[in-house]
A and B are shown apart, each in its own frame.
Chain A
Amino acid sequence: MLNMLADEKPEPSLSEMARSAAHGEDSPYFAGWRAYDEDPYHPIVNPSGVIQMGLAENQVSFDLLEEYLREHQDCGGGFRQNIVFQDYHGLRSFRMAMASFMEQIRGGRARFDPDRIVLTAGATAANELLTFILANPGDALLVPTPYYPGFDRDLRWRTGVNIVPVICDSSTGFQVTAGALQAAYEEAAAAGMRVCGVLITNPSNPVGTTVERAVLEDILDFVARNSIHLISDEIYSGSVFALPDMVSVAELVDERGDDGMAGRVHIVYSLSKDLGIPGFRVGVVYSYNDAVVAAARRMSSFTRVSSQTQRTLAAVLSDTAFAARYIRANRDRLRERHDHVVAGLARAGVGCMRSNAGLFVWVDMREMLDEATVEGELRLWRRVMAETKLNVSPGSSCYCSEPGWFRVCFANMSLEILDVALRRMSCFMERWNSARQ
């Protein structure tokens, strides 16, 4: 007989994974997003609403893509073959177009083999996939701080793998040092964790800088010495708008030739940032290790790219002339936007880390802290949020070891809205400075 008394029924159990908080959504990074969702800025309807500066999206160049698609209408051939195409190798034409695009972004300084490209639904899935493939539950990935808050979910939640931070600070411009790598390695070992690899983001999110060549060489040497893996998330590789040029691990692998290192190097990419199409869910796992490519391809069954999207983008990206124009224009526009923001902030009396890439600036408000702690930073953050209604991301949500840094996105809005944001920041700083006097 069924027990109809609802009060007596115990909660039907879900898995521990479902009940855990390892999805990371309780972080301040996401709290700011919620504040925006509840009170979003609109120039006419809600001019005092929250301006979203916590979302690293690229909206400065979408018109180029839109125009291209309008001018190159889909002529309809191959519709039926396309809708049934579910081969986890992915459309060959699309993989070739991706390989070519990745080469163009790197100025032809590295070669990519289309048969090493595995498609996933976004970089979120690509990072998780590589973690499942390279690490056992309980193992550790060494990740330089500050890092993208989403990694907590992508690398740890369902995989059971740990992140051990590689502490970087402003004294080196947040570049990784050999000493920091070693310290992290030892920390993991002391905690009884087997280190399976290092995961870097190049260019960096949230700092917006490219990894220096010498640092990259150090990282590769460290990885080789310890027989572990290197995952290089190069999702912002097309967003390098100023010198120095980005040096990709792909270049170093090509340079070092067949020294046995290649089997340990894996690259993650996505079109979400460079092309501004996060909705299309296009991610790539690129590995120099055949066994990893094979495993990734099989595992991509859980997270494939829509054949409709593959076909559309294959047409766009295989037009190398367009791709070259796009890359150039995108860089120019990002540089303009970046310079505009840096100048606006400087006029307001706020400094940033010098950066050459990404869709954000790494703002230095250390001097404004009441105390140099995470709590002090969060107090300042809440105040900035409340008074300026700008959703910026506190460095502590990115695990930055130095309190007082904030990531401020600048490419996800129109110039007009950006100027509103800069004015608000300016007013805030005026009030702040006069209160100090």
Chain B
Amino acid sequence: MAGKPELLSRMAAGDGHGENSSYFDGWKAYDENPFDLHHNRGGVIQMGLAENQLSLDLIEEWSKAHPEASICTVEGASQFKRIANFQDYHGLPEFRQAMAQFMGQVRGWKATFDPDRVVMSGGATGAQETLAFCLANPGEAFLVPTPYYPGFDRDCCWRSGIKLLPIECHSSNDFRLTKEALVTAYERARSDGIIVKGILITNPSNPLGTTTDRATLAMLATFATEHRVHLICDEIYAGSVFAKPEFVSIAEVIEHDVPGADRDLIHIAYSLSKDFGLPGFRVGIVYSFNDAVVACARKMSSFGLVSSQTQHFLAKMLGDEEFMAMFLRESAARLAARNERFTAGLREVGIGCLRSNAGLFSWMDLRGMLRGGEKTAEAELELWRVIVRKVKLNVSPGTSFHCREPGWFRVCHANMDDETMEVALDRIRVFVRQHQRQQAKAQRWAAKGQLHLSLQRHAGIASQYHALSSPMAALLSPRSPLVHAAS
């Protein structure tokens, strides 16, 4: 039975779910033709999914070695009744305890966490939404540094009705958040008559893969306190930091650096989906230093509790300090190796990435490959379509992350095995070299036809621009991705 849209609410009929964004188009291309190392080597490689699949073997081994952690085994069955029946939204005490302990461990014990402040949610997706519902009224806003995870538009805004307003960050300082940018965004909102209720940062950053430095966190805590706005820190990648500088959590900063910060304004969102590669388990955590927010978030957690079966399993695993220490160390080493291999592979063909020390992806700089040097969103999307359709890599265009500088792409590389990554790198290298050859060719042709060309905006790359729009373009190889991109 087909459905008439007018039978549905405005919320359901609208596109606040965000799936019409280009971020998801690439996924569709992947779904239609997924790469498989053995059965479909010509398929689309999924590089748009930030998942950590490098250390799942460690978790599987632990699980096999600890049958008591599962209530479906002989060893664990005695717990079945208690666990299956447990629906208290406070969560299993041992789960909260283990989670609080783990959160401290991930932060190198530079901050400690109170189990009574650990509140569950339906993944980090649910955590962000819960905080939006608790902290802001419809029409009010959170400021968020760009580029940011596209899912926030859905998570923070769809059902809550709040707005996200950008704090512009630029490559000129490696996209670091500055006080000037924050103040500009804050004042623009106020002059537009929008009430700013909070600032939302992701630390470590998605898509940048960098950690926020201590001074910036201190600046944020101070700003929040002075302006009476909430500070929400999504620390979902806290356990995915693989190189210096070390991760600094907002929990540490309010403890040591800005002890006068108003703790009632500080909230952390966390999840096990990234650090552990357990997105299927739907473990989201809201950790707030504000008692009223803890109480409210806990009531709201009724809508997205973690399965008690999963809480029980994780209580055991997270509570195994020795295993956790080993896992964090090993996972970081594997992420570092993967990151190094990937960025080195790109360097071979002159492609740079933002220097990163965390996360499951690289922020790749393809500004030099934009058609005719056009630094526009359209040019970026054009290049992206070529990468998805011809190179068959589902990477994510920077514009889908609200990046103001076109030409950056997020490339996930922790969600595949080594061989697949080599295939992906190969494809990129082939594509880039081909592009460079076409550029060189176009330059030669343009140089020949120079007398007939008029002045250009971008003097340095004038020849390239002209090569495409002049009759000379017909002389370019029909297989050139640039020709396809232009049509």
Interface of A with B (CB < 8 Å)?
Answer: 2-4, 9-18, 23, 25, 57, 59, 62, 65-66, 69-70, 73-74, 76, 79-80, 82-86, 121-122, 124-125, 128, 132-136, 139, 153, 158, 196, 229, 258, 262-264, 272, 276-281, 288-295, 298-299, 301-309, 312
CB-CB nearest in chain A for B64: A76
Q: Smallest Cβ distance from B154 to chain A, in angstroms?
A: 7
Q: Smallest Cβ distance from B274 to chain A, in angstroms?
A: 11
CB-CB nearest in chain B for A291: B3
18 A-B interface contacts by CB (under 8 A): A2-B222, A9-B262, A15-B136, A62-B84, A70-B77, A73-B73, A74-B72, A83-B277, A133-B11, A135-B9, A263-B4, A281-B87, A291-B7, A293-B3, A299-B159, A305-B307, A306-B282, A306-B306
* B455 at the A interface (CB under 8 A): no
Is B304 within 8 A of A263, CB to CB? no
Chain B contacts of A294 at CB under 8 A? 3
Chain A contacts of B275 at CB under 8 A? none
* B19 at the A interface (CB under 8 A): yes
Is B3 within 8 A of A290, CB to CB? yes
Q: Smallest Cβ distance from A144 to chain B, in angstroms?
A: 22
Rounded to whole angstroms, the CA-CA distance of A16 and B162 in the bound complex is: 13
Is A308 within 8 A of B313, CB to CB? yes
* B431 at the A interface (CB under 8 A): no
Is A304 within 8 A of B122, CB to CB? yes
Q: Number of contact residues on B: which range applies?
A: 35 or more
B80's partner among A69, A74, A83 (CB-CB below 8 A) is: A69
Chain A contacts of B176 at CB under 8 A? none
B85's partner among A11, A57, A309, A312 (CB-CB below 8 A) is: A57
Which one, B123-131, B336-344, B381-389, is touching chain A?
B123-131
Chain B contacts of A17 at CB under 8 A? 133-134, 137
Chain B contacts of A229 at CB under 8 A? 7
CB-CB nearest in chain A for B283: A306
* B228 at the A interface (CB under 8 A): yes
Task: Give 4 A-B pairs besides A62-B81, A83-B277, A125-B303 with Cβ atoms closer than 8 angstroms.
Answer: A258-B1, A263-B7, A279-B87, A291-B8
Is B122 within 8 A of A18, CB to CB? no
Q: Considering residues B87, B264, B313, which has the most beta carbons from chain A within 10 angstroms of its beta carbon? A: B87
Q: Smallest Cβ distance from B73 to chain A, in angstroms?
A: 6
Chain B contacts of A73 at CB under 8 A? 72-74
Chain A contacts of B85 at CB under 8 A? 57, 59, 62, 276-279
* B421 at the A interface (CB under 8 A): no
Rounded to whole angstroms, the CA-CA distance of A308 and B59 in the bound complex is: 13
Closest 3 CB pairs of A and B: A291-B3, A307-B280, A279-B308
Chain B contacts of A196 at CB under 8 A? 9
Which one, B289-297, B320-328, B464-472, is touching chain A?
B289-297
Is B3 within 8 A of A12, CB to CB? no
Rounded to whole angstroms, the CA-CA distance of A37 and B305 in the bound complex is: 20
Is B9 within 8 A of A281, CB to CB? no
B310's partner among A69, A79, A309 (CB-CB below 8 A) is: A309
Rounded to whole angstroms, the CA-CA distance of A70 and B70 in the bound complex is: 11
* B183 at the A interface (CB under 8 A): no
Enumerate B35-90 residues with CB–CB distance to A below 8 Å.
51, 53, 56-57, 59-60, 63-64, 70-74, 77, 80-81, 83-87
Is A121 within 8 A of B72, CB to CB? no
Chain B contacts of A12 at CB under 8 A? 228, 230, 262, 264-265, 290
CB-CB nearest in chain A for B151: A301
Is A158 within 8 A of B133, CB to CB? yes
Q: Smallest Cβ distance from B379 to chain A, in angstroms?
A: 31
* B278 at the A interface (CB under 8 A): yes
Chain A contacts of B280 at CB under 8 A? 82-86, 306-308
Q: Smallest Cβ distance from A199 to chain B, in angstroms?
A: 15
CB-CB nearest in chain B for A272: B87
Is A4 within 8 A of B260, CB to CB? yes
* B225 at the A interface (CB under 8 A): yes
Rounded to whole angstroms, the CA-CA distance of A14 and B160 in the bound complex is: 13
Is B293 within 8 A of A18, CB to CB? yes
Rounded to whole angstroms, the CA-CA distance of A82 and B364 in the bound complex is: 30
Enumerate B112-144 residues with CB–CB distance to A below 8 Å.
122-123, 125-126, 129, 133-137
Is A124 within 8 A of B5, CB to CB? no
Chain A contacts of B83 at CB under 8 A? 279
Is A301 within 8 A of B154, CB to CB? yes
Rounded to whole angstroms, the CA-CA distance of A183 and B165 in the bound complex is: 46
Is A263 within 8 A of B302, CB to CB? no
Is B5 within 8 A of A291, CB to CB? yes
* B483 at the A interface (CB under 8 A): no
A302's partner among B63, B122, B135 (CB-CB below 8 A) is: B122
Is B304 within 8 A of A84, CB to CB? no
Rounded to whole angstroms, the CA-CA distance of A231 and B265 in the bound complex is: 40
Rounded to whole angstroms, the CA-CA distance of A153 and B301 in the bound complex is: 12
Is B4 within 8 A of A291, CB to CB? yes
CB-CB nearest in chain A for B265: A12
* B309 at the A interface (CB under 8 A): yes
Given contacts A17-B133, A276-B84, A301-B125, contact A79 B60 (CB under 8 A): yes
A281's partner among B80, B296, B307 (CB-CB below 8 A) is: B307
Chain A contacts of B278 at CB under 8 A? 83-84
Rounded to whole angstroms, the CA-CA distance of A303 and B282 in the bound complex is: 8
Q: Smallest Cβ distance from A245 to chain B, in angstroms?
A: 26
Q: Smallest Cβ distance from B457 to chain A, in angstroms?
A: 42
Is A83 within 8 A of B59, CB to CB? yes
* B347 at the A interface (CB under 8 A): no
Q: Smallest Cβ distance from A139 to chain B, in angstroms?
A: 8
* B481 at the A interface (CB under 8 A): no
Is B74 within 8 A of A18, CB to CB? no
Q: Smallest Cβ distance from A352 to chain B, in angstroms?
A: 25
Rounded to whole angstroms, the CA-CA distance of A79 and B73 in the bound complex is: 15
Q: Smallest Cβ distance from A77 to chain B, in angstroms?
A: 11
Is B135 within 8 A of A121, CB to CB? no
Q: Considering residues B133, B134, B135, B303, which has the most beta carbons from chain A within 10 angstroms of its beta carbon? A: B303
Rounded to whole angstroms, the CA-CA distance of A85 and B129 in the bound complex is: 22
Chain B contacts of A66 at CB under 8 A? 77, 80-81
* B240 at the A interface (CB under 8 A): no
* B281 at the A interface (CB under 8 A): yes
* B375 at the A interface (CB under 8 A): no
CB-CB nearest in chain B for A79: B60
Rounded to whole angstroms, the CA-CA distance of A65 and B87 in the bound complex is: 18
Is B87 within 8 A of A278, CB to CB? yes
Rounded to whole angstroms, the CA-CA distance of A369 and B135 in the bound complex is: 45
* B180 at the A interface (CB under 8 A): no
Q: Smallest Cβ distance from A337 to chain B, in angstroms?
A: 17
* B373 at the A interface (CB under 8 A): no
Task: Give a binary string over B1-37; 1 marks a CB under 8 Å from any A CB, 0 the rest.
Answer: 1111101111111000101000000000000000000
* B279 at the A interface (CB under 8 A): yes
Chain A contacts of B5 at CB under 8 A? 291
* B192 at the A interface (CB under 8 A): no
* B348 at the A interface (CB under 8 A): no
A312's partner among B57, B64, B309 (CB-CB below 8 A) is: B309
* B329 at the A interface (CB under 8 A): no
Is A18 within 8 A of B296, CB to CB? yes
Is A86 within 8 A of B279, CB to CB? yes
Is B53 within 8 A of A303, CB to CB? no
Q: Considering residues B159, B261, B281, B290, which has the most beta carbons from chain A within 10 angstroms of its beta carbon? A: B281
Rounded to whole angstroms, the CA-CA distance of A293 and B134 in the bound complex is: 28
B300's partner among A65, A86, A158, A288 (CB-CB below 8 A) is: A158
Given contacts A69-B71, A295-B8, contact A84 B159 (CB under 8 A): no
